[in-house]
Chains A and B, each alone.
Chain A
Amino acid sequence: MRITRITLANCRNYGEATIEPQAGLNVFLGRNAQGKSNLLEAIGLLGTGKSFRTSREAEIVREGYGLAAVSADAVVRSGNVTLGFTIARGERTTRKTLTINGRAVRYAHFLGKLRVVSFAPADLAVIVGAPGLRRAFLNLALAQEQPNYYTALAMYARTLRQKNALLRSGPPYDEELFAIYDRTMVERGARMTLARAQYVQTLGPHARAEHLRWSAGEELVLGYNSAIGYEIGDDEAMLRERFERALETGRTRERARGAALVGPHRDDLTLALDGRSLAEYGSQGQHRTALLALKVAEYRAMAAATGEAPLLLLDDVLSELDPDRAARFLDGLGGFEQAFVTATHLEHALPGATAFSIEGARIARVA
């Protein structure tokens, strides 16, 4: 898939800007704080409907304006499609509207129309940060690959919040209501656990192979740590049983703590290097190499699962690599249809790249 035109209106520091990116590499060069990351964020909004930079989405709307919009014409396998994202900043809340060919659609329908894999230096937190960041990484990749995953996740997350509220309210509990929340969480949670565990099994070999290309024989192993005790070979029915048993075992503990402690919201993606936890023992260099391998694996897995290469958004990543390593990184992706790359400068021109300059929120094609 690729974008043939993208228009930004009042996004961050942009007034109005339109560009026509080409197939292959599109490189955006400019000094810091000119709008490079903002452009990539806007493209990401059309893929996931969410910012990969902030959870405070009101920030996306340009200072002093009420409405920000991004729209793009894209060429996907099923044909041409125009995607739109608008966010209105109200006095207390924000409202997002997602459109496909001008028609407003629900989030679950918008997801997966344009798939993106983004990679920025801040993603290092996925390797070294809290488990929630790794769950978010899995969720975003899976939601783009499988729309049904998002539906299960949304229902699970909402039911979890209700169950937590019920637990916090303290006894006497409405047992009937507990049973209903647990039943919903088991049904959706088993599906989520299976999808995530299988996804990690798919990522594993890609990540391991890519990692070997960058390190001196160190072996990167991914694992999925499941709170309900997933084991390889489990199907959904078996996971539902495991989940139910774990809920029974954990019931007293959950009520004592006043919080839901059992389920995929407590899971983690584990990364080990030669058998040792990467986050605990790895050096910063090892963390970076692992992140690179993980991102390449995400990209390849998404391309394989959907039969279509996703858009690649590289924010300030290639400038960290020397030209030789940059070429090796792009080579490792196994061919991409379209990539958006930002950098303050590049040591060497990238062959076949279309270059743009960004200065003060103005984007111009460089011959």
Chain B
Amino acid sequence: MTRSEPPAEPVVALINEFTKLPTIGPKTAARLVFHILNRPRNEAQSLSEAILAVKDRVGFCSVCASITESDPCAFCRDERRDATLLCVVADAKDLYAIERSGAFHGRYHVLGGVISPMDGIGPGQLRVRELVERVGSEATHEVIIATNPNAEGEATALYLSRLLAPLVATVSRLAYGLPIGSDLDYADEATLARALEGRRLM
């Protein structure tokens, strides 16, 4: 009977740290640690510096809650952006998805999630109060709600639309439709049905 020897203590510690990250289990964590061990020191250094820089230099915009190096963020400071249009997104990553489209030139508001009692998230845990304050005090004409078209995203959109209706001229929701470049033949029936409901005049 041989006694099994655990890996060196720093290795165990780093494996533990990695397993705290989403989607990473003990096996993947071990693979990452041994990969790092086999790489030059400067790579490990730039990795750890990049991680710290994210925490030290990046914060949340006090106006829209997007991630930024300076407060208020570039979107909120940019005078050329249409301040009468406000796009509400669940997360900062959704903001960048819309930004990449190049089709929106208004301001943003990041909720910090969607309403989901299953996960203990109600309107009070999101930046809903801040949204109401902004819409009430700024010159907003239209709020575009850009949450995902799933159960939580829909419920959040409905909740916000009821809350904002008395405060702003227009509350709109992103249209549902067919992906550009796709075949009708390949669209699932639900998407096609929603695209028909949301059809428009030509």
A202 is an interface residue with CB less than 8 A from chain B: no
As a 0/1 sequence over residues 79 to 105 of chain A, the CB contacts with chain B under 8 angstroms (1 = contact) are 000000000001110000000100101
Q: Chain A residues near B115 (CB, 8 Å)? A: 177
Which residue of chain B lies nearest to A110 when distances are taken between CB atoms in the complex? B188
Q: Chain A residues near B163 (CB, 8 Å)? A: 176
Which residue of chain A lies nearest to B124 when distances are taken between CB atoms in the complex? A174
Q: Chain A residues near B120 (CB, 8 Å)? A: 169
A136 is an interface residue with CB less than 8 A from chain B: no
As a 0/1 sequence over residues 108 to 152 of chain B, the CB contacts with chain A under 8 angstroms (1 = contact) are 000000011110101100000000000000000000000000111
A165 contacts B155, CB within 8 Å?
Answer: no
Which residue of chain A lies nearest to B193 when distances are taken between CB atoms in the complex? A148
Determine how close the nearest CB of chain A comes to the CB of B116; give it in whole angstroms.
6
As a 0/1 sequence over residues 59 to 95 of chain A, the CB contacts with chain B under 8 angstroms (1 = contact) are 0000000000000000000000000000000111000
Contacts of B149-202 to chain A: CB distance below 8 A: 150-152, 154-155, 158-159, 162-163, 186-190, 193
In whole angstroms, how far apart are the Cα atoms of A165 and B189 in the complex?
30
Interface residues on A, range: 20 to 34
In whole angstroms, how far apart are the Cα atoms of A291 and B189 in the complex?
32
A109 contacts B123, CB within 8 Å?
Answer: no
A177 contacts B193, CB within 8 Å?
Answer: no
Say which residue of B117, B158, B186, B188 sits within 8 Å of A169 (CB atoms).
B117
Which residue of chain B lies nearest to A107 when distances are taken between CB atoms in the complex? B188
A147 contacts B190, CB within 8 Å?
Answer: yes
A176 contacts B118, CB within 8 Å?
Answer: no
B151 contacts A177, CB within 8 Å?
Answer: no
In whole angstroms, how far apart are the Cα atoms of A162 and B26 in the complex?
31
In whole angstroms, how far apart are the Cα atoms of A180 and B157 in the complex?
10
B100 is an interface residue with CB less than 8 A from chain A: no
In whole angstroms, how far apart are the Cα atoms of A159 and B25 in the complex?
30
Determine how close the nearest CB of chain B comes to the CB of A282; give it in whole angstroms.
39
In whole angstroms, how far apart are the Cα atoms of A155 and B123 in the complex?
20
Determine how close the nearest CB of chain B comes to the CB of A263; give it in whole angstroms.
15
Contacts of B77-116 to chain A: CB distance below 8 A: 115-116
As a 0/1 sequence over residues 105 to 117 of chain A, the CB contacts with chain B under 8 angstroms (1 = contact) are 1101100000000
Please give the residue numbers on chain B whose beta carbons come within 8 Å of chain A beta carbons, in ascending order: 23, 25-28, 115-118, 120, 122-123, 150-152, 154-155, 158-159, 162-163, 186-190, 193
Write 27 A-B pairs (CB below 8 A) sorted by A numbering: A91-B28, A92-B25, A100-B186, A105-B186, A108-B188, A109-B186, A109-B188, A147-B188, A147-B189, A147-B190, A148-B189, A148-B190, A148-B193, A155-B154, A162-B116, A162-B117, A162-B118, A162-B155, A165-B116, A165-B117, A165-B118, A169-B117, A177-B123, A180-B158, A180-B159, A180-B162, A181-B155
Please give the residue numbers on chain A whose beta carbons come within 8 Å of chain B beta carbons, in ascending order: 90-92, 100, 103, 105-106, 108-109, 147-148, 151, 155, 158-159, 161-163, 165-166, 169, 174, 176-177, 180-181, 183-184
